[in-house]
């Protein structure tokens, strides 16, 4: 028996991924979501639908660094089957105006990237190899695939987290700014996944640990009907829920949530992928991601800035940290 943590698994893609994992009867699934009540409801639905009781909900608010650390502490306090998978699935998209978390970070960046960055680093020591980390991205990270969404714009991670400090901000209206924050956060997901893979491989090559933890990214495709468009206007929400699903058979890379959920679970369970790492899957196909997603300078900036923002300490991660000069 293995344990998988799936963030945002109370609904949508995460729920369907959790269902596919549970149905294998080999996985104890932790549904990690910010609402304890919605987590319990999801557990009840999954248990009723699968007849399996190896499901538990835990509270995780990715917009709160305190909540992420509490989750890691609470997870470690209870005996469970070996942790073999973390699926970084939860995401938000805000188009009605810029908002900030209580930690002072722009919400889309905080939820879609920063919270997952801290979560994974905190949980690495608890993972039992061979283990897998899957980061859910989006085709919208690629300017060639945005299809109506503004392309990502990565300059410095500090400006993504605190755009009010940017002396040369983009002159985007709220809706465009919110959607660009989303596509840029999806680029960050790819940069994070590839950099995490590189750092884990470096640790193994250096002999500092004998772990085998793979990291891959996943594009579920366009999934109309999910809650990702909840911050959109009434007509856009109607089209997302009722019109686009009808067009699914005729448009490339438009999938049902159930189909994408099964594909996501497959990245966790397929024995053929046990040693595959640093890849980007569109459904079940290994495909190239955007040019920027492979940029080592961007990845380093994102990693080191994120580590500083979440105040990651050497005892919280198995990976070596770049210490400030005063601490060296």
Residues annotated as catalytic (active site), given as ranges = 182
Place of tokens 């940029």: 295
Q: Is the omega angle on the peptide bond into residue 56 within 30 degrees of 0, that is, cis?
A: no
Task: Name residues whose C-beta falls within 8 Å of residue 142's C-beta, 6 or more positions apart in sequence.
Answer: 289, 290, 293
Structure tokens, 235: 């007509």
- Tell me if residue 27 falls in helix, strand or coil: strand
Would you mind telling me the total number of residues written for the chain in this entry?
328
Cβ atoms of 108 and 100 within 8 Å: the answer is no
φ and ψ at residue 187, rounded to 5 degrees: -65, -40
Q: Please list the alpha-helical segments (H only) found in 171-240.
A: 174-205, 234-238
Tell me if residue 222 falls in helix, strand or coil.
strand
Token reading at 251: 């448009």
Look at residue 33 and give its three-state secondary structure.
strand
> Cα–chain-centroid distance for residue 53?
25
User: What's the distance, Cα to Cα, between the start and end of the chain in Å?
Assistant: 42
Tell me: cis bond preceding 130? Omega within 30 of 0 counts. yes
Cα(110)–Cα(5) distance, integer angstroms: 19
């Amino acid at each position: 028996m293995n344990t998988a943590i799936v963030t945002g698994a109370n609904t949508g893609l995460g729920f369907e991924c959790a269902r596919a994992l549970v149905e294998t009867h080999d996985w104890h699934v932790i549904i990690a979501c910010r609402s304890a009540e919605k987590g319990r409801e999801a557990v009840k639905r999954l248990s009723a639908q699968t007849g399996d009781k190896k499901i538990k909900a835990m509270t995780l608010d990715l917009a709160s660094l305190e909540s992420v650390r509490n989750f890691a502490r609470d997870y470690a306090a209870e005996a469970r089957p070996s942790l073999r998978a973390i699926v970084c699935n939860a995401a938000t998209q805000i188009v009605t105006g810029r908002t900030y978390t209580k930690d002072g970070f722009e919400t889309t960046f905080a939820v879609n990237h920063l919270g997952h960055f801290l979560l994974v680093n905190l949980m690495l020591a608890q993972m039992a190899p061979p283990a897998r980390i899957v980061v859910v991205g989006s085709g919208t990270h690629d300017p060639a695939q945005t299809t109506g969404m503004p392309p990502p714009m990565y300059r410095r991670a500090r400006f993504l987290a605190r755009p009010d400090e940017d002396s040369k901000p983009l002159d985007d209206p709220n809706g465009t700014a919110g959607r660009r924050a989303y596509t840029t956060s999806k680029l960050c997901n790819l940069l994070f996944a590839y950099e995490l893979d590189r750092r884990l491989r470096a640790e193994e090559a250096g002999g500092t640990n004998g772990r085998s933890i793979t990291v891959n990214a996943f594009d579920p495709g366009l999934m109309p009907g999910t809650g990702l468009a909840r911050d959109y206007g009434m007509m856009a929400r109607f089209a997302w829920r009722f019109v686009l699903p009808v067009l699914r058979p005729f448009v490339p890379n438009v999938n049902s949530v159930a189909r994408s959920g099964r594909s996501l679970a497959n990245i966790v369970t397929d024995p053929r992928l046990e040693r595959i790492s640093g890849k980007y899957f569109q459904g079940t196909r290994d495909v190239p991601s955007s040019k920027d997603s492979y940029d080592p300078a961007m990845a380093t900036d994102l990693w080191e800035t994120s580590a500083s923002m979440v105040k990651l300490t050497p005892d919280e991660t198995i990976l070596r940290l770049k210490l400030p000069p005063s601490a060296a």
